[in-house]
Amino acid sequence: MKMSFGKGVSNNQAESFNARMRRSVEGIYLNPSHKYLMEYACENAWRQDVRKLNTGKRLEHLFGRALWVGSPIGGATTPTVQTESASY
């Protein structure tokens, strides 16, 4: 049975996430600590969000987010890559 709420949102997405979370606990984490459950869930959410990207785009996304950890709320929006200009 599929229940849809429109705009591409359905309970199948939640079931898929829960199945991926269960598989990762059995296969990756093995002995998950309750202290880090939120981090495990965030990692699995990220994996699901970027699963269709190629490796280069996935790494770009990961490093872009990692560089902005701890930035102040309301600070810079999205990290951008600046290239050096050849002006002498």
Among 5-14, 18-27, 62-71, 78-87, which is the least confidently predicted range?
78-87
Give every CB contact of residue 62 below 8 A, 6+ residues apart in sequence: 46, 50
The pLDDT value recorded for residue 88 is 41
6-62 pLDDT tens trace = 666 778 878 888 888 888 888 888 888 889 889 888 888 888 888 888 999 988 888
- What does the alpha-carbon distance between residue 32 and residue 25 come to, in Å, rounded to a whole number? 7
Pair 55, 63: CB distance under 8 Å: no
**Largest Cα–Cα distance in the chain?**
66
pTM: 0.56
